[in-house]
Structure 1
Amino acid sequence: MNSDDLVKFTEAAELLKVLAHPIRLCIVKGLIEKGECNVTHMQNCLKAPQSTVSQHLQKLKAAGVIEGVRNGLEINYKVCDSQAIALVIVLFENQS
């Protein structure tokens, strides 16, 4: 394995690590389906405390999977990583 391969495998492993949590996976899947939404909407959908949702959003943001766009007082999040989109679509393609 050459150094270019190692970089690719490392990047892929990091993406898998950040997606490997039920709440983060649910957030990304929901954002793919909805396009974008804010923390309050996610909190209601996930039935999770705002602090929990925010922690997971920060991890996804730090990994470059999602980005936030300020709209007045709220921030709407959307998925900006095409690999993450492709992975989540493949994971859930056979589920209704």
Structure 2
Amino acid sequence: MTAAEVHLDPVIHAQARLRIVATLAELQEGDELHFPRLRELLGMTAGNLSVHLSRLEEAGYVRQSKSFSGRTPVTYISLTSDGRAAFERYVRDLRRLLGQD
């Protein structure tokens, strides 16, 4: 298999987005992470994380659920079934590229 024959999803391939998707993929399907916890796990700024989450959400890979706890806004992040499938394809394609399939 040559590198030209492998297509790595450019939405996931960006380092920050790959880290986000890989972290969310560790959750059980349907589980969510609180935005501050995800930010803490990844060591990212809120602004940087928000930008990358927006790109993943546009692609249909993550879902952001916004609500309130009293008057405080709360955001939960989850991987969609499309996002989970895209990550599985990404990992499979990366393994093929590295000759580990």
Same fold (TM over 0.5): yes
Deviation for aligned residue 1:37: 0.8
Q: As a proportion of its length, which structure holds more helix?
A: 1
Q: 1:27 aligns with which of 20, 28, 45?
A: 20
Q: What is the letter of the counterpart of residue 78 of structure 1? A: S
Bigger RCO of structures 1 and 2 (CA < 8 A, at least 6 apart):
2
Deviation string 1:20-46 (CA, Å, 9 cap, x unpaired) is 111111111111112321221121111
> How many correspondences in the alignment?
79
* Residue of structure 1 equivalent to 2:11: 18
Deviation for aligned residue 1:83: 2.3
Q: Which runs of 4+ in 1 moved over 4 A?
A: none
When the two structures are superposed, what TM-score results if normalisation uses the length of structure 1? 0.68
User: Retained in 2: the 8 A contact 1:69–1:76?
Assistant: yes
Alignment RMSD, CA only?
2.3
Identical aligned residues as a percent? 24
Q: What is the letter of the counterpart of residue 33 of structure 1? A: E
Unaligned runs of 5+ in 1: 1-12
Q: What is the letter of the counterpart of residue 52 of structure 1? A: N
User: Retained in 1: the 8 A contact 2:9–2:90?
Assistant: no
